[in-house]
Amino acid sequence: MNAFSLLWLKNIDPRRYAIARIGFALLLLSHFVHLFPYRDTILSNAGMTHSSAAKIGFHQLTGGTSISLFNYFQSSFEVTIIFIFAIIASLILAWGKWARTTLFVCFFIQLSFIHRAPASTTGWDSILTNLGFILLFSPLGKDWNPWNLFRQWNKKQINLKAPQYGLVLIQLQVFIIYWQTVIQKLGDQYWAKGESITYFLLSHHGRFLGSWPVAWHDLLDKINYLTLIIELAIPILLWIRNTRRLGLWIGIGLHLSIAILGVNLALFSLTMIVSYLAFIDPWPTSYKLRSSTK
Amino acid sequence: MSLNRKVIIILFSTIISANMLLGIAPLSTNIGRSISKRLDPIRWTIGLGQKWDMFHSIPTHHSLRVYLTANDASGKEYRYGAGLPSLREISPRKLIRYHYTFLRLFNDPLNKSFKESYIESISQTLLKTDPRLRQFTIHFDHGRINTLESIRKGANIATTRVEKFGPYKVQGKMKR
């Protein structure tokens, strides 16, 4: 088998998919709970916009076709029922029961939200649909619910195997997210002048009000450039086994800082941290075993 | 694993990873715009959009307050919140999606149909709330962050700019 095929087809321990599925399901649960207070205002016809206008608006913004559930279920009551359904589906997905079906339900409700209210979306909405789409066509480690996984955590070898393509695609997506955002930041005057963190902390996103970031600007200027270096480095550090632990610490540190210093950004941080689960390998195949299977 | 399944996995992975890799070209470049124009309709329809511009443009808003004023036939003014369905006050700082929503609706012409639909919904809700109302205005109070230099010299963190949209007629069905 050539290297390209092996990149996608190499067998790994399916418990890795179970970790990714459980983490993603809990992330979806948090996300749907976060969206719950907005549901009436941005998704029902009693709210800000009518679904017929949203269909046209989605097409004007993206060129795509709106296939939202909320084009058909338009009342406040129906939107609420769909959200309750999404919350229940994400809990069942975490448990691993009917994993593919519940993941499809969660993915389609999230996609429907983006199609119905694209003007109300944030960066992490797209991350959720991208990761959801990949997982929808990947092994889900559904033989492991959280309890089984906990009990069999220390078991060295599992007879079942799963191809690694789903996790590799998520790793690649993490890479693209960080690198594209850095490329875009390099063209921005605030990032180029070292002022971005200071402005961020003074903005509506800043948790601690006041003009204190201006007094700390000399330090924040250095953190500005350090952030760009860190964002370039995180996917590389995560990819290389020997530096993975360092990558995890730096990445989690970066996103916890964003969640602590910024308001309303905890879900973004959680989304990025959950995406790191695709890199974690608590059960690496030993060199001996790999050699014997060749 | 059967050969067919292997082929499907490799094809699927190749297509999805190609879509991601094509997404790395920034939209500010010609190649980025060209790729985006061709792929975005499919990408956004199936949920594979590749637009990762989080914080590339730094927020320059310190605060945002949105509210409505409506007048009856005698010219008397009434104040309402901008949140539908119940015209409640909303706090874009507490619920960040309202911040994005209002800024995109009123500052980005691409969101024109959402803006028109919002104005129509407000109009209909005001009519139901009080049939005596004749017209309304949407008020935006933006707190724009001043330059770091001027803050250092003692200026306030932000300067509030008041923007008004309207007046629009209060009516059951809007004329477009």
Q: With respect to residue A4, please indicate whether it lies within any of the assigned structural domains.
A: no
The interaxial angle of helices A99-116 and A123-136, nearest 10 deg, is 150
User: Model confidence over A82-131: pLDDT tens digits?
Assistant: 999 999 999 999 999 999 999 999 999 999 999 999 999 998 999 999 99
Domain boundaries, position A189: 165-286
Return the bridge partners of B83, or none. Answer: B88
User: Model confidence over A283-292: pLDDT tens digits?
Assistant: 886 644 444 4
The interaxial angle of helices A217-239 and A244-261, nearest 10 deg, is 140
Q: Which of A47, A67, A204 sits opposite B45 (nearest CB)?
A: A67
Task: Give Rg (Cα) of chain A.
Answer: 21
Q: Which residues of chain B lie closer than 8 angstroms to A64, CB-CB?
A: 40-45
Task: Give the number of domains in chain A.
Answer: 2
Q: Which residues of chain A lie closer than 8 angstroms to B57, CB-CB?
A: 188, 190
HEC profile of B56-114? CCCCCEEEEEEEEEEEECCCCEEEEECECCCCECCCCCCCHHHHHHHHHHHHCHHHHHH
For B106-110, what is the mean pLDDT?
Answer: 90
Q: What is the ipTM of this complex?
A: 0.91
Share above pLDDT 90 across residues of chain A, in percent, rounded to a whole number: 84
Q: Which residues of chain B lie closer than 8 angstroms to A120, CB-CB?
A: 97-98, 100-101
A34 shares its domain with A128: yes
B151: closest CA of chain A, how far (Å): 7
- The burial class, CB within 10 Å (0-12 / 13-18 / 19+), for B73 is exposed
User: Model confidence over B45-79: pLDDT tens digits?
Assistant: 999 998 887 666 667 889 999 999 999 999 999 99
Among A210-214, B90-94, B142-146, which is the least confidently predicted range? B90-94
Q: Is the pLDDT of residue B5 over 50?
A: yes
Calculate the alpha carbon distances from B138 to A38, A285, B84, B94, B168 in Å.
Answer: 20, 62, 13, 20, 9
A232: closest CA of chain B, how far (Å): 13
A250 shares its domain with A212: yes
pLDDT of residue B25: 72
Q: Do B58 and A188 touch (CB under 8 A)?
A: yes
A87: closest CA of chain B, how far (Å): 20
The mean predicted confidence, pLDDT, of chain B is 90
A109 shares its domain with A245: no
B176: closest CA of chain A, how far (Å): 13
Q: With respect to residue A272, please indicate whether it lies within any of the assigned structural domains.
A: yes
Which alpha helices (H) appear in chain A, and where do they start and end? 3-9, 15-35, 39-43, 51-62, 76-95, 99-116, 123-136, 146-151, 165-186, 189-192, 196-202, 212-215, 217-239, 244-261, 266-275, 287-293
Give the domain-ending residue among A104, A138, A163: A163
- Per-residue DSSP letter, A286: P
Substitution target from B6, B36, B56, B146 for chain A, most A beta carbons within 10 A = B56
Residue B55 φ/ψ, nearest 5 degrees: 65, 10
Higher-confidence residue of A1 and A140: namely A140
A39 shares its domain with A144: yes
Q: Which residues of chain B lie closer than 8 angstroms to A217, CB-CB?
A: 148
Q: With respect to residue A282, please indicate whether it lies within any of the assigned structural domains.
A: yes
Q: With respect to residue A220, please indicate whether it lies within any of the assigned structural domains.
A: yes
Which pair of tokens denotes residue A104? 């499809």
Q: pTM for the whole thing?
A: 0.93
pLDDT of residue A293: 43
For B11-27, what is the mean pLDDT?
Answer: 88
Q: Do A122 and B100 touch (CB under 8 A)?
A: yes
Which pair of tokens denotes residue B18? 């190609």
User: Model confidence over A226-281: pLDDT tens digits?
Assistant: 999 999 999 999 999 999 999 999 999 999 999 999 998 999 999 999 999 999 99
Give the domain-ending residue among A116, A147, A163: A163
- Per-residue DSSP letter, A10: -
